[in-house]
Amino acid sequence: MARLRDLTKVLRSKNAGPFMVTFDLLFRTREDMDRVVDADILAVANISRLLEVARAHIEVYAYLPANAIKITIPRKHSSGAFDDSDVFGCQQHAWMLDLEVPDR
């Protein structure tokens, strides 16, 4: 069983404005992307459960020509707010690194 970090060439998070954070996953091959999509580990229901974010606030986009998936969620605290611990949103992707992707 592979981990998500093993199947991507880019796995990052960043601000999508002061109130949203986005996760970018760029896969090495179309087969790797299809494997992750088929496993449903990035389904809205799973992301909602893992991050404790309402399903209605999660957006998932796949861009097949680039073997890419983008996920956008609201930030718990706006960028730069007193309670914010990651102004640029670049450390929010750690939860994804070790997600296990079953073999086909």
Quick one: DSSP state of residue 16? S
Mean pLDDT taken over the chain:
95
pLDDT tens digit string along 14-58?
Answer: 999 999 999 999 999 999 999 999 999 999 999 999 999 999 999
- Residue ranges and CATH numbers for the domains of the chain are 2-101 (3.30.70)
| C-alpha to C-alpha distance for 83 and 68, rounded to whole angstroms | 31
Look at residue 104 in the predicted model and tell me its pLDDT: 79
Position 13 confidence tier, pLDDT thresholds 50, 70, 90: very high
Q: For the chain, how many helices (H) and strands (E)?
A: 4, 6
